[in-house]
Structures are given as structure tokens and as C-alpha cells.
């Protein structure tokens, strides 16, 4: 059934660049990152394939789409890959409930500052509980995005185009 559905969309072509499907090893690298750093269960990746898009962005899509010779598929931006794996806002938000490790819960004002793209005051946060690396920032139990911790300095990693001055939270 999955193959049939995939074949139905085989003929569609676009003029934009072809995505590159990740090998099992590349895929495991990203899954391992989420499992080890954030305690995410491996099951949230089952039935999903990943492809590399522009600017080292990796997208997550339903498995059956990987069987198509479609040149552009979309899906959830799951990570950016370079020397290290960087988590994404969309993925953390979608699987908020599954993120169990390296979670930093924010107050209302801290959440407002984070979403506006401002840096948080490290002295107000008990950061010595965490090892260097990415943290998932949550507010009211909902993942907002991530920040990067290095030697006590926390950097806001929320993408510029996602930053907002929220009035209600």
C-alpha cells in the first residue's frame, strides 16, 4: 500500500533542487543525539525518513515519501548538521512531551525574553545542573526552542524568523 502511494506521486517534477536522503548511519547520528541529549524515545522517529536540504537542514517526513522520486518534499525541520547536530525549534515543539532531559523551565518573563530573541540572565538560572551543550527551554510544560550552554554562558538559539514580541503567555 505504501509503495502504491509512493508510485502515484512518482512523476511530479519541480525545478528546485533535489533533496538528498540520509543514509541509515547519518539518520542514526541525529536520532542518537535526541535520545542521548534530550531523553527522547527512539519510537518518535519510527516510520520517518530524513533528507538533507539547503544550509545543512535535515527534514523529517513520513517514510513513504522517501520512496518517491519527488524532487522536493517538506516535513519537519528536525536538525541542522555540521560538526555537531543542532536541534530545531519545530521538532522540539512538536515532541515537547517526549523531551525529558536537559530541560530548562522558564518563568513567564524569561519565556517572553527568550521568544523575543534576547539573552537570558544566567545568574537567575541554575545552570550548574547541566553539562555543556544544547538545552530545551520549556514554559508551562511546552517546549519553546533551544539554547546552547558553554562554560556557564547560555546563548539563545531561536531562529531570527521565529522571534516574536508576545503579548500573551
Partner 1 sequence: MAKHSTDHRPRSTARTKGWITEIPPAFKEYYGPLVDDEAAFYSALVKPLPKSLRVNTLKAEREYVKTRYTGYGIPLVECPWYADALIPQDATVDPSPALEHFLGQVYVQELTSMLPPLALREEIVSANLVLDACAAPGSKATQVAALMNDHGTLIANDADYNRIRALKHNLSKAGAQNVILTNVDLAEFPTEQQFDVILLDAPCSSDGTIRKMNKLLPNWTAKRPLKYASLQRHLIKKAFALLKPDGVMLYSTCSFSPEENEVTVSHLLNNSEAEIEPIEIPNLHLSPGITEWNGELDPRVARTSRIWGHHNNTGGFFLAKIRKTDGGE
Work out whether 103 is an interface residue with partner 1 (CB under 8 A).
Answer: no
Site string for partner 1, 57-96 (x = CB under 8 A): --xxxx-xx--x-xxxxxxxx------------x--xx--
Cα(92)–Cα(88) distance, integer angstroms: 6
Cα(95)–Cα(98) distance, integer angstroms: 5
For 66, the enclosing helix (H) or strand (E) is helix 63-66
Residue 150 vs 165, nearer CB to partner 1: 165
Strand-pair partners of 150:
153
Residue 140 vs 153, nearer CB to partner 1: 140
3-state DSSP assignment of residue 36: helix
Residue ranges in contact with partner 1 by CB under 8 A: 5, 8-9, 11-16, 48, 59-62, 64-65, 68, 70-77, 90, 93-94, 105-109, 111-112, 115, 139-142, 144, 161-162, 164-169
Amino acid at each position: 500500500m505504501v509503495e502504491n502511494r509512493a508510485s502515484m506521486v512518482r512523476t511530479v517534477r519541480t525545478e528546485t533542487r533535489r533533496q538528498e536522503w540520509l543514509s541509515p548511519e547519518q539518520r542514526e547520528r541525529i536520532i542518537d543525539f535526541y535520545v542521548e541529549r534530550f531523553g527522547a524515545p527512539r519510537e518518535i522517529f519510527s516510520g520517518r525518513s530524513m533528507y538533507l536540504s539547503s544550509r545543512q537542514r535535515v527534514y523529517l517526513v513520513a517514510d513513504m515519501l522517501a520512496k518517491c522520486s519527488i524532487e522536493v518534499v517538506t516535513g519537519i525541520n528536525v536538525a541542522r548538521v555540521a560538526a555537531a547536530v543542532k536541534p530545531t525549534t519545530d521538532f522540539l515543539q512538536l515532541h515537547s512531551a517526549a523531551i525529558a532531559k536537559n530541560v530548562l523551565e522558564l518563568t513567564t518573563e524569561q519565556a517572553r525574553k527568550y521568544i523575543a530573541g534576547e539573552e537570558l540572565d544566567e545568574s537567575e538560572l541554575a545552570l550548574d545542573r547541566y553539562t555543556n551543550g544544547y538545552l530545551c527551554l520549556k514554559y508551562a510544560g511546552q517546549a519553546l526552542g533551544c539554547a546552547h550552554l558553554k562554560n556557564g554562558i547560555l546563548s539563545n538559539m531561536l531562529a531570527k524568523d521565529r522571534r516574536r514580541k508576545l503579548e500573551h503567555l
